[in-house]
Amino acid sequence: MAIVGRKASNAICGPFIAFCKELAGGAAISSTWLLIWAGLAAQAHWVLAVGAADIEFPHPMVVLAVLAIVTGIPRMPLVPPTRADWALFALALFACMLPFRTAASLALGCAAAIAWRGHGPAARSVSVLLLALAGWGMKDGVWVGFVSVPVMAAEAHVVSFLLNLGGLPSEATGNHIEFPDGQGFIILRACSLLSLAYPCAVAVYALFCLVHPNRQPGLLRIALALAILAVLNNVRLVSMAASPAIYDYLHGETGDLPLQLAWSGIVMIAALPQRRAA
């Protein structure tokens, strides 16, 4: 068992260690150095802005994205930085001096731009994932409220239509569904597809990059995952609106478990299959 564990550790850590030696032994600073330091500065700024005591366990999507970035950086070629790379790096450091938590997203965006200017599919994948993490860091921004209002209203109308189709009269007004007996059901952001679609799409992309490092994930896989997620979420909303017992269960201590299992299954189904070579 020790030999097997050592071989597995070498298989995982070997390429990264070799990359670090190559990076440290370079005659000049490469754009990859700027990318790494900009990303680390963004992470340090976010930790300081949030506070170590308030940091929670990261979302599974964030874990997958970070793993894909760490494994993707060693596959990026070491190229000398251009003036644009240095300017992006300076902007990232400046953003980390701002007393705002969302400034870390700007720094990650600069790191993503540096990676995008690199060469090869690995650089593109790292850039997309860094930009996705930057967007995730702004999920609590004011702009999300403006986007979520029409999305939740549309979901309420879909749920009301399905309830009426199933013989349960209802009427949707905004994100509120009203029943003839005076009871109501409100779709909030936590239950909306809006809070599930973004991490699902990023997780599919990241997991595909981890499993198939030499391929680029197609949009069809992400669209498939979002389509399945939309169907399951509508089923969940209709079930909660139609049954108070289901509503109470899904809002109980173990209510998140079915959604988490479904979310994990969707990500794996969309990211893992690979077409066989002819």
Q: What is the DSSP string of 62-100?
A: HHHHHHHHHHHGGGS------HHHHHHHHHHHHHTTSS-
Give the pLDDT score at 95. Answer: 82
If asked whether residues 122 and 163 sit together in one domain, one would say no
Return per-residue pLDDT of the chain as tens, 278 residues: 444 444 444 544 555 445 444 444 444 566 677 777 777 777 676 666 555 445 566 778 888 888 888 888 888 877 788 888 888 888 888 888 877 777 788 888 888 888 887 777 888 888 889 888 888 877 766 566 677 788 888 888 999 999 888 888 888 888 888 988 888 888 888 788 888 888 889 999 998 888 888 777 778 888 888 998 899 888 888 888 888 888 888 877 776 777 788 878 888 887 776 655 44
Give the pLDDT score at 100. Answer: 75
Whether the model clears a pTM of 0.85, i.e. scores above it, the answer is: no
Rounded Cα distance between 198 and 191, Å, is: 13
Final residue before a domain boundary, out of 136, 168, 191: 136
| Number of Cβ within a 10 Å radius of residue 254 | 8
If asked whether residues 157 and 257 sit together in one domain, one would say yes
Domain that residue 111 falls in: 30-136
Final residue before a domain boundary, out of 83, 109, 136: 136
SS3 116: helix
Short-list 75, 142, 152, 147, CA closest to 115: 75
Short-list 89, 83, 49, 42, CA closest to 66: 42
Whether 259 is in a domain gets the answer: yes
> Could you report the per-residue pLDDT of 226-274, keeping only the tens digit for each?
998 899 888 888 888 888 888 888 877 776 777 788 878 888 887 776 6
* pLDDT mean across residues, the chain: 77
Give the pLDDT score at 12. Answer: 47
If asked whether residues 156 and 266 sit together in one domain, one would say yes
If asked whether residues 162 and 255 sit together in one domain, one would say yes
Count the domains in the chain: 2
Give the pLDDT score at 194. Answer: 82
If asked whether residues 241 and 262 sit together in one domain, one would say yes
Q: Please work out, in degrees rounded to the nearest 5, the angle formed at the alpha carbon of residue 277 by the alpha carbons of 272 and 278.
A: 145
Strands annotated E in 142-267: 171-173, 176-178, 184-186
If asked whether residues 152 and 194 sit together in one domain, one would say yes
Whether 17 is in a domain gets the answer: no
Residue type, 208: F
Final residue before a domain boundary, out of 136, 169, 187: 136
If asked whether residues 132 and 147 sit together in one domain, one would say no
Give the pLDDT score at 213. Answer: 81
